[in-house]
Amino acid sequence: MAKAEKKKVEDADTDLIAAINAGRVERFQELVTRYQGKLYNFGLKMCGDSRDAEDMVQDTFLNVFKYLKDFRHETKFRNWLYRVATSTCLKRRRKSKYAPDRELSLDEFLPKDEADISDTVPQWAAQPLAQVLNEELAQRLKTAIVELPEKYRLVLVLRDVEGFSTTETADILKLSVANVKVRLHRARLALREDLKGYFKNE
């Protein structure tokens, strides 16, 4: 029996992609303008360095251009773009000498002793967000994100920074939904530990 064709996903990029694939190659610039900011910031969090992020964006757009004709609209273009970006990013990092990913276990985030347990919500979590978030904290947070082991960082950035759903993240990373949830929870707990340390010393 013939395999049922997946339903095409239409989005704000569908017409533009059709035009580019029909030969209006110069319109690829519109796609670049639309997504360069998002991809650059994604690259900054994934690579941690502006030059690497710039190279990652360039390689991603070159790969997108190369494979755009093969894009089947089985997902939103934005999701496919991030899949290409993620794979570009991982390939780049594997070429360089990085230490293997550290595993984060749930146990390391459990309170070690009574002194570690608080029965009151700390000010940084109780006050309105705008009163707590400042430049210094934002910088600390960015550093903490970049320092997460890569496989946890990827999930956290896609879910909590870029705003993809759990299912979309699983689709982009070709992981199971359960795996995305496990990695996300550990990544969030690792960040929370970092923030707790920051506010304790403040």
Partner 1 sequence: MSERSTPHHGHDHAACIELFTRLSEYIDNELDEVSCRDIEAHLADCPCCTACMETLKRTVAFCREVEERPVPATLSRRLQEIVAGLAAPKPA
φ/ψ of 97, rounded to 5, equals: -95, 90
Using CB under 8 A as the binding criterion, the count of chain residues that bind partner 1 stands at 54
CA distance 84 to 104: 26
Q: How far apart are the first and last CA of the chain?
A: 65
Distance in Å, CB of 10 to partner 1, minimum: 25
Which of 61, 77, 82, 164 forms a contact with partner 1 (CB under 8 A)?
61
* Span from 11-19, 80-88, 97-105, 136-144 in contact with partner 1 (CB under 8 A): 136-144
CA distance 79 to 102: 27
Nearer to partner 1, 67 or 74 (CB): 67
Distance in Å, CB of 4 to partner 1, minimum: 28
Where do the DSSP E strands lie in the chain? Answer: none
CA distance 190 to 168: 23
Angle at 114 between CA 109 and CA 115, to 5 degrees: 85
Residues that bind partner 1 (CB under 8 A): 25-26, 28-29, 32, 36-38, 40-41, 44, 50, 54, 57-58, 61-62, 65, 106, 110-111, 114, 116-122, 124-126, 129, 132-133, 137-138, 141-142, 145, 156, 160-161, 163, 166, 181, 184-185, 188-189, 191-192, 195-196
